[in-house]
Structure 1
Amino acid sequence: MAQNMFLTLVFIGLCLVVGLLLLIRWQLKTQRKAQEAHEKLVQEAKAKAQEQRDYLIESVKVISLAIIDEQCELAEGCIRLKKLLDHLAPQLHRHEDFSIINEMFNATSHMPILDEWKKLKLKQRFELTQEREALEQQHHDAILEAARKLADYRFQQ
């Protein structure tokens, strides 16, 4: 009888060990799947961030070339470049080759745009246009030089 009790306890012990091993295996499998899903999300986020960065770099180059080719007004180009560089490489605002972009942005920041521009009286529009054109004329060469350098600039990864 003692031997039957002993064998029963050994059997129960073996069943517990097998059950615990199966539980551990299931937990490891679940953990591995969760880690793989996390790694996949990280890779997707990295890819999306790189895609956005590439888009910003391309936009900077396109606007720089538009400034050089006189396809957009200098002040507008500086405003657009400043906003792109804010997201791409804000340290370039302090770089001596590109500081004119930030300077033009600040000098024109009080000027309304889009619907606010349309709401202005003709006289106000004329005065602001003269002010903007004077700024563009004053900084023409520096803006073109900055645009040339930005068009060729190699942004760090």
Structure 2
Amino acid sequence: MNSWLMVAALVIIAALAGYAAYLHWLLYRRNKPADKPVSTSAGSNAKVGVVDPAVPGVQRVAIKRSLYLLADALLDDKLTHTEGCLRICAIAASLEDQELIRREYGVLFRVAEATAHIPILDAWQALSREDKQRFDRERKAVEAKYNDAVIEAAQRIKAHYSL
């Protein structure tokens, strides 16, 4: 009886592994044309958004999708400009041409750097009401200062990384 269960378990595992391999192959085939980098040499006219060829294709597509969705959420006021800038900059750090992105979308990095000291999550919850209000005023002042430039950068990200 035990050997029968062992054989049944192995058959199920093999079937699931085969199905997983098939799905992986479909994803690979679907994303293969998009995986070709525009340029991989540092001295050439590389476009913003070229990712390291060592990064798997599925991950490159996920990075581009994340940048697009964050820019879209920022434009739809689903995120504050501060949160959107922090998230976009964190994701952009995984791209090969970080310096080009920093030049192209520098305002996002300026907002992120200007507000990086503001506590988040549990540290935010631990703040006094006065400290929260002070940080909120500071955040809103930075957002107001860079409002138009952040919106313009988010629109360019959406256009560049369109789905």
The bucket for the TM-score relative to the shorter chain is 0.5 to 0.7
Secondary structure of 2:56's partner? Answer: helix
Q: Is the 8 A contact 1:92 1:99 kept in 2?
A: no
Partner Cα distance (2:75, 2:135) in 1: 23
Q: Structure 1 residues 119 and 61 mapped into 2: Cα distance closer, same or farther (>3 Å)?
A: same
Q: 2:126 aligns with which of 115, 119, 131?
A: 119
1:91 aligned partner = 99
Q: Is the 8 A contact 1:74 1:136 kept in 2?
A: yes
The structure with the largest alpha-carbon Rg is 1
Structure 2 length-normalised TM: 0.62
Indicate the RMSD between aligned Cα atoms, in angstroms. Answer: 2.1
- Tell me by how many angstroms 1:123 deviates: 0.3
1:16 aligned partner = none
* Amino acid corresponding to residue 102 of structure 1 in structure 2: F
For these two proteins, the number of residue pairs brought into alignment is 110
Partner Cα distance (1:71, 1:119) in 2: 25
Q: Is the 8 A contact 2:86 2:112 kept in 1?
A: yes
Structure 1 length-normalised TM: 0.65
* Runs of 5+ consecutive residues of structure 2 not aligned to the other structure: 1-27, 29-52
Matches within 5 A, 1:77-156: 77-88=84-95, 89-95=97-103, 97-154=104-161
Partner Cα distance (2:123, 2:100) in 1: 30
1:50 aligned partner = 57
Q: 1:59 aligns with which of 61, 66, 70?
A: 66
1:9 aligned partner = none
The structure with the largest helix share of the pair is 1
- Percent sequence identity is 28
1:19 aligned partner = none
Partner Cα distance (2:125, 2:84) in 1: 20
Q: Is the 8 A contact 1:68 1:144 kept in 2?
A: yes
Matches within 5 A, 1:1-16: none
